Structure 1
Amino acid sequence: MGIINTKKWLEEHFYEPTSICENMKASFDGDDSHNIYRYLNGFGMYKPSRRSKQTFEKMKELETWNKVERFYKKYKKKWDGPDVPIYLFPFQMTWRGDENKSGVSFPNQLFLFVGEVTDDKELEALFIHEYHHVCRMHCLKKPIEDYTLLDSIIMEGLAEFAVKENCGKAYNASWCHLYEEEEVKQFWEKELKEHLDVKKTETKHDQLLYGHGRYPRMIGYNTGFYLVNSYFQKKKQTAKMQFTIKSEAFL
């Protein structure tokens, strides 16, 4: 599998993203293409506009598909990772502040939404983060609906730890450095540790993971990165072992 030729789909149906999503119905259990598009758009997939068309042209100019193909081959071999389809689409530039890329991962497929990313290492960091999720989900063999808040924060922390190991600290996501250690510890004691068993399907899960409502922004992600870093300062593990360590070990 590997890189799917979404470039062809975009050239033929750029202004009809729901038509593009028809191609992916099988991997979403035959769901309606409008639902698939709405779901992917929520994670950063482009909306048709002059600006997003420019982004698409820039992706072609920068040979983004070829670059991601290289990253896929490299990390699939390095991590003995699963063979999954990888879909690339332009990023929704007005979607999230100053971000210029995002992604969403499943055990059986991977989506990358790319803005005007000219630094190849930045693109590699995005790929590492999302493909790391795929590898861990593949190894844990746990139904998505059974994932807890602890599973989620550890998964995010591990993915960014892999970015740090392979691309360097400069390429870590901005949320990795949002809070001081003392702030993380206080939040852990007051809010997080009582809710670690909250399931992915419950509202509280995303509130604490992303920092919605009264919670600090991206606090769950940041805490995951802190826990994983603390763990690996004490224990040396190979990259492949990161995919099978139980979430509870990081506590």
Structure 2
Amino acid sequence: MGVVPTNQWLEEDFYQPVKICDRLTAYFNGQKPNRIYEQLLNFGMYKPTREAENVFKTLQKKIIWEKVDRLYHKYKSKWEGKEVPVFIFPVNAGGMLFRRNTQRKSGVSYPDKLFLFIPELDDPKELEALFVHEYHHVCRLNEMKNKMEENTLLDSMILEGLAEHAVSVSCGEDYLAPWCRQYSEKELMQYWDKFLKDKLEIKKREKSHDDLLFGKRAVPTLLGYAAGWNLVKKHYQTNPFSIKKSFSLSSNVFLKKF
């Protein structure tokens, strides 16, 4: 599989993203194209504007599809990772919360597919950091026993923390997402007691899961992400592990040192 030629889809139907999503129905168990588009919009897929079209043209000039394909084969081989299709689209640069960094790139991963939503990037390491983060998700999700909707808040926090650990190892600490440094240790301890410690078993399907992970309804922004990174970082300091090992480590292991 690897990188799907979505650049060809965009050339044909850029201003009809729902029509583009009609090509994705087989990857979403027959969901309707408009529902798929709504879902992907939430994670950063472009809206059909002239600005987004200019981004697409820049991505083509920078041969982003070819570069991502090389990254895919590099890390699939290095990590002995899952073979999945990779879909690339321009990012929606406005009106959403970006989890990666201020360069406003984003993505979403599933056990069987991966989406990257990309802006005009000047630093190739930023592209690699995005890919590493999302492909690590794919690899870990395939090792987790639960269905995605059965994962707990702790599972989601550790999933994010481990993906950033992979970025740190593969690309360097300069490419960590800002939420890794967003809160001080003191703040995280206070927020842990106030918001998280009694809610770690909440399932992904429950509404409060996303409130705590992303930071909604008076919860600090991206608190679950930041706390997940902190748990992973603390554990790694005393119990180093390889990236391959991180795919299968139990989420509960990371609570032992907290």
TM-score for the superposition, normalised by structure 2 = 0.95
In the TM superposition, 1:97-108 aligns within 5 A as 98-108=102-112
Match of 1:6 in 2: 6
Deviations 1:146-193 (A, max 9, x none): 100000000000000110111111101111110001111111122201
- Distance across 2 between alignment mates of 1:175 and 1:115: 20
Is the 1:17–1:37 contact (alpha carbons within 8 Å) kept by the matching residues of 2? yes
- Distance across 1 between alignment mates of 2:240 and 2:210: 31
Match of 1:52 in 2: 52
Match of 2:31 in 1: 31
In the TM superposition, 1:65-104 aligns within 5 A as 65-96=65-96, 98-104=102-108
Is the 1:100–1:117 contact (alpha carbons within 8 Å) kept by the matching residues of 2? no
1:99 positional shift: 4.2
Is the 1:44–1:95 contact (alpha carbons within 8 Å) kept by the matching residues of 2? no
Residue 238, structure 1, aligned to residue 242, structure 2: yes
Match of 1:198 in 2: 202
TM-score for the superposition, normalised by structure 1 = 0.98
- Distance across 1 between alignment mates of 2:95 and 2:75: 29
Deviations 1:119-146 (A, max 9, x none): 1100000000000000000111320111
Percent identity, aligned pairs only?
47
Partner AA of 1:77 in structure 2: S
Match of 1:165 in 2: 169
1:239 positional shift: 1.4
Residue 121, structure 1, aligned to residue 125, structure 2: yes
- Distance across 2 between alignment mates of 1:174 and 1:95: 18
Match of 1:219 in 2: 223
- Distance across 2 between alignment mates of 1:36 and 1:58: 25
Partner AA of 2:247 in structure 1: F
Name the SS for the 1:105 alignment partner.
Answer: strand
Runs (5+) with no aligned partner, structure 1 = none
Name the SS for the 1:237 alignment partner.
Answer: coil
Is the 1:122–1:171 contact (alpha carbons within 8 Å) kept by the matching residues of 2? yes
Number of residues of Structure 1 aligned to a counterpart in Structure 2:
251
Name the SS for the 1:154 alignment partner.
Answer: helix
